[in-house]
Amino acid sequence: RGEKDKASQMNHNLKRAVAIIQEESADLYKDSVDDMEYEVDQNIEENFTETLNEEQEERRRKKEQAKAQQRERQKDIEAKLAEARGRWAAAQEERKQQAEDERRRQERESAKKRAEDEQQKKNDEAEAERKEREKEIQDKLAD
């Protein structure tokens, strides 16, 4: 009977040991799964953060590029505006010069006309004097 008890006790101990080993194995497996899930979560979080950072960097780069393009367009507009202002000022100066030239031409024509009128007046007076003397001479001859 002692042998049977010993065998029964050993069988009981073995079953208990197997149960403990199975329980520890299940705990180890669960810990391993938890570790893998944690690593997967970490990888997902890292990838998400990396992707988010890349997207933010891309948006920042595009915004910077758009600003640079806007600055270039602004420079082009300002250059065209300055060019147009220059052409306008040159045209204004040209018109001013033409008006001045026209004023001078009219002054010259007026002076020329006055001189011609004056000369004509002198000629008319000289002609009148000549006729007067001629008449006087004719009158004297008639006497």
pLDDT for the residue numbered 37: 94
Output the pLDDT for position 99: 97
| pLDDT above 90 for 2 | no
Length of the chain, in residues = 143
For residue 1, pLDDT over 80 is answered with: no
Per-residue b or e along 41-65, where b marks 16 or more CB atoms closer than 10 Å to that residue's CB: eeeeeeeeeeeeeeeeeeeeeeeee
Query: What residue type is assigned to position 105 of the chain?
Result: R
Say yes or no to pLDDT of 110 above 80. yes
Residue 103 vs residues 11, 94, 95, 98, 112: alpha-carbon distances, Å: 135, 14, 12, 9, 14
pLDDT of residue 142: 83
Is the confidence at residue 39, as pLDDT, over 80?
Answer: yes
